[in-house]
Chains A and B, each alone.
Chain A
Amino acid sequence: MAASAPTAGNSERVRLLGLLLKRRTVVVGLVVLGLIAALAILAPLIAPYAPNKLSVVNRLKPPGGTWLFGTDEFGRDVFSRTIYAGRLSLLVGGAVVVMAAVLGVTLGLCAGFFRRLDTPIARIIDAMMAFPDILLAIALVAALGPSLVTVIVALGIVYAPRLARIVRASTLVIRELPYVEAARALGVSTPRIMTRHVLRNLVSPILVQGTFIFAYAMLAEAGLSFLGLGVSPEVPTWGTMIAAGRQYIGQADWMTLFPGVAIVLSVLSLQMVGDGLRDVLDPRLRKDL
């Protein structure tokens, strides 16, 4: 009997995965996301040109023929740059989401759960949200010194209050629900109530907000890079490509179009997966039961 214990948890996970993959939107989202990630990871093998190879003769060539996505103002291949840029953009987006989630969820849960911590945490959150995002990020990067890690940390801190606020508000509601009191009456400890009974019920707002933060982070990174506070300029990201292409949008819209499409596709596919994940984790939304 005891030997079958671990499989009980595994089979539950397998069952959830099965339910997840039954949804067409989730499958499409996963395929698109997987494709973008594969292109980014395998960029050195796929890219027809080096991302920084200049070719002044071939400046601002339209898409088609030799240059799948056209070339930019220095004659660099936009396709090669787009897939190379995916590596850093996805990394920044993902890492910022994780960072913001860890910070924001912890702060929000504590503020919502412990009355004593509520006022100080809520005031700090308000104060941080009073700053314009990019200004706060600039200040943080300036203080910590520009590098990839600093950008991630700074943006994580900037976006954490958004999550913290949502988590706090929902925690305040869920904390008062009868099943939380019932759990307490049956001897469940506070940390366990926080994770199992409260946090699990917050998955959907966290996922939704997380996908937004993923997109914001990629764009904010571009802003920081544009100001010279991000990663070094010779490494392309989707954000820096868009920022650079803006000047030529009249003559060479492909310079902004393709990295823009890359951002849209990755955010969209992530949202599709997130939606499916939320439905599967909330048994009331599972239509196939």
Chain B
Amino acid sequence: MTELAADVVLQVEDLRTHFELGRRVAKSVDGVSFSVRRGETVAVVGESGSGKSVTSLSIMRLLAPPGRIIGGRILYRRRDGSMVDIAELPEKAMRAVRGREIAMIFQEPMTSLNPLFTVGDQISEMILLHEPVGRAAARARAKRMLELVEIPAAERRLDDYPHQMSGGMRQRVMIALALACTPSLLIADEPTTALDVTIQAQILDLLRRLQAQIGMSILFVTHNLGVVAEIAHEVVVMYAGRVVEQAPVTRLFERQKHPYTRGLLACIPDASRDRGAAGERLRLNPIPGNVPNVTALPAGCSFAARCPYVVDVCTKDPGPPLVAAEVAHLSRCWRHEAL
């Protein structure tokens, strides 16, 4: 376990997380690999059911049964420099990693805080849990955290209950809570999805600034490519439990080497593009069909049924491998050269 490059914080190798449902097996994550470098933001993008959330839950080891990591490694560099494989870590050791080294924020800021305790209490609880400090010191730190996430009148807000705050404020509190022990990696599972657009921009901006300040890495899970363009350095596109394309963000937006990514980008409504010559409104461009059922994946490429570029070889086993289409640009498509 010494093969991690010096600046890599997290390296997922051939991760397989399956859900055994009686005789059927849902291969929600099936051979996913990527790595996150220090101070970098990696976005994992995909539709519902692509396995992006299961990937992040696997890294946190928060899978509910029958979900189970059945293969692969999740190498993580701890703060003291030692390397651990999260997939094999005992639960007790994992608990010390959660929150202290890897923190997570969720999609639902409205319900991600316990309604019965003040936000100050909840942030303090987190600090007291992981660090040998007194109550008063924890409270002082909680106040600094609220200031850090730019909540005005932090001192007074410490004694507020979650229901007294707006969604955007609560997400800020969640971020303060997650960062209270200065983790090296923050996993953000669609943290802006439930917020309205202006607040989304504020939260993304905040995350970017905090990242620069604290130097943490972010694994950002989303289906929103607009958000990806805002925050990510590296993009991993997932489809039906696999990585289908991976590239640095600017390159990916310039040139897509997988038809799925191309389709995802075409789905974004664009006011200038969606008008015809006479200024009439054109239709939106959805990708037809749905993500295939991960308990019964088709032979060959799992995107073939929805792909506009499909040819005969696409439906034949085995499916396309993930190859370097260009330097630092991976694609899982037989026709990546034609794209």
Residues of chain A at the chain B interface (Cβ within 8 Å):
1-2, 4-5, 8-9, 115, 177-179, 181-189, 196-197, 200-201, 281-284, 289
Chain B's closest residue to A175 (CB) is: B64
Q: Are B174 and A182 in contact (CB under 8 A)?
A: yes
Let me know if A283 and B98 touch, CB within 8 A. Answer: no
Contacting residues, chain B, for A1 (C-beta < 8 A)? 134, 136-137, 140
Smallest distance from the beta carbon of B78 to chain A beta carbons, Å? 14
Q: How far is the CA of A196 from the CA of B121 in the complex (A)?
A: 12
**Cβ of A178: which chain B residues have Cβ within 8 Å of it?**
106-108, 111-112
Specify which of B95, B115, B116, B136 is in contact with A4 (CB 8 Å cutoff).
Answer: B136
Asked if residues B106 and A284 are in contact (CB atoms below 8 Å), the reply is no
Residues of B that sit less than 8 Å from A by CB? 60, 62, 65, 95-100, 103-108, 111-116, 118, 125-126, 129-130, 134-137, 139-140, 161, 163-164, 174, 177-178
| Known A-B contacts A2-B136, A185-B62; A179 and B104 likewise in contact (beta carbons under 8 Å) | no
**Distance in angstroms between the alpha carbons of A9 and B128 in the assembled complex:** 14
Known: A179-B112, A201-B116. A184 touches B135 (CB 8 A): no
Known: A178-B111, A282-B116, A284-B161. A184 touches B136 (CB 8 A): no
Chain A residue at minimum C-beta to C-beta distance from B96: A187
Please count the residue pairs between chain A and chain B whose beta carbons lie under 8 angstroms apart in the complex. Answer: 90
Contact B97 A8, beta carbon cutoff 8 Å: no
How far does the Cβ of B163 sit from chain A's closest Cβ, in whole Å?
5
Q: Which residues of A contact B129 (CB under 8 A)?
A: 186-188
Cα distance, A284 to B99, chains bound together (Å): 27
Q: Are B115 and A5 in contact (CB under 8 A)?
A: no
Contact of B163 with A283 in the complex, beta carbons under 8 Å: yes
Chain A hits for B118, CB < 8 A:
283
| Contact assessment for B114 and A197 in the assembled complex, using a CB-CB cutoff below 8 Å | yes
Q: Is the CB of A182 within 8 A of B163?
A: no
A5 close to B111 (CB less than 8 A) = no
Collect the chain A residues with CB atoms within 8 Å of residue B135's CB. 2, 5, 8-9
Please give, as numbers and ranges, the residues of chain A lying within 8 Å of B112 by CB-CB distance.
178-179, 181-182
